[in-house]
Amino acid sequence: MGHSTEPETQHLNRNSIPLSIRLKELAKLFLRLGAIGFGGPQAHIAMIHDEAVVRRGWFQEEQFLEGVAICEMLPGPASTQTGMYTGYLRAGQWGALVAGASFILPAFLIMVVLSWAYFRFQGVPQIEHLFLGISPVVIAIIFGFCWKLAKKAIKDRTGVAIALTVLLISLLFRPNVLLLFILSGLVGLVVYRPTQLPPPGPSPRLRVWIVPWLSWLATVPAETSVMSSFWGLERIQAYALPLGLFFVQVGAFIFGGGLVIIPLLESAVVDDFQWMSRSQFLDGVALGELTPGPVVITAAFVGYKVAGVLGALVATVAIFLPSFFFIMFTSPFLLRLRQNPWVKRFLKGVMPAVLGAIAAATLPLAQAALWQDQWPLTAVAIALSLATLVALVRFRRPTWQLIPVGALAGLVMGVVV
């Protein structure tokens, strides 16, 4: 990869350590962090900081904070990108690749096993009871995320107007979510326009090119009601390209946190492509919350349903591909881009739109999760969801602790009611 693999922002003694040794260090560290990374993105970032800055002294505090700020600005899961950026500072582009892949691998393997078990034993009463309690908890997690995102993204009346407009349009017309994000970003460029010309740099409006692909993806066959084999060899040839293209688009527009995948995925995989039912999609989000690492790994669940393990691999690689690209090939320019006033205004318009899109996608999911055939089950599901919301917002309990509680409550509901 030439001299570009060595970033300028490096520790003074780094060149004295062979590249192979640094790559092994990164692989060992991020495999471990990926396996124990429960607690959400902030916990992931704190663990990376402790290991890379405090314990190992690979680089300075200021460099790490700059990296976190860059990753928060980019689309994609910020904690995973922070790991990639750490690898980039430590060992260049190869370091970013090794750190990112090592951090993602444990969650991917766990999700494949969970996906296999879910579809293998789907219909067993005990499994249905588990998700009877898990689904209301996931709904609460999503609304709790909306609450936190609202405090971060809504700064004025324009932000409120963008969020409500996207919410209403999404509920009434179910348009393309990516197009809504782009249009909201353009509104941000107009409303929050800078008073001076920006320095030269790439424009976020260049991403418009990906939207026309959706019309092509709509022609992809949707005969996935019957499960593929474990490896998916009989389906991967037909579905590799559509899975890859779709999840690359999703990965390029995950602004604001991992749960942004919900509006980006839900309408497409349930309504447009008919790859799975709405309840299956919600259960996949729940499994994503159960794994260490980013909830974006839910892509592997969708890929497994469509084309087995190979489909899960294609979907996972595709959804993280934009993150790898941004960190590995644009890191030298990202600090300057972060100060670009046009980019700031574009993102200021996108973030409220993200909030509105998530809320719109969650309402039908909430109906499926909370409204049960028997009114006692409905009452318990609503109570469980409200209790989870309080635990998240008031007591700040981590999501990975709440989902097992919901599963236990679901088992109890299944036995008692």
pLDDT per residue over 127-157, tens digit each? 888 999 999 999 999 999 899 889 888 989 9
Q: What pTM value is reported for the model?
A: 0.82
Percentage of residues of the chain with pLDDT beyond 90: 59
For residue 253, what pLDDT band results from cuts at 50, 70 and 90? confident
How far apart (Å, rounded) are the C-alpha atoms in residues 56 and 322?
29
Give me the amino acid identity at 49. Answer: H
Q: What is the mean pLDDT of residues 198-207?
A: 38
Tell whether the model's pLDDT for residue 211 goes beyond 50.
no
Percentage of the chain surpassing pLDDT 70?
A: 88
The pLDDT mean for the chain works out to: 86
| CA–CA gap between residue 285 and residue 245 (Å, rounded) | 21
Q: How far apart are CA 125 and CA 105, in angstroms?
A: 31
pLDDT at 18 over 50: yes
3-state secondary structure of 203: coil
Q: So what's the pLDDT on residue 216?
A: 45
Q: For residue 358, give Cα distances in angstroms to 72, 261, 282, 381, 385.
A: 18, 8, 13, 21, 17
Q: Please give the pLDDT value at position 13.
A: 53
Among candidates 29, 31, 44, 109, which has minimal Cα distance to 78? 44
Whether the CB-CB separation of 133 and 408 falls below 8 Å is answered with: yes
Local confidence band at 311 (pLDDT 50, 70, 90 cut-offs): very high
Burial of residue 322 (number of CB atoms within 10 Å: 0-12, 13-18, 19+): buried
Closest by Cα among 240, 258, 262 to 107:
258
Who wins on pLDDT, 333 or 338? 333
Tell how far CA 315 is from the center of its chain: 12
User: The tokens of 232 are what?
Assistant: 């998916």
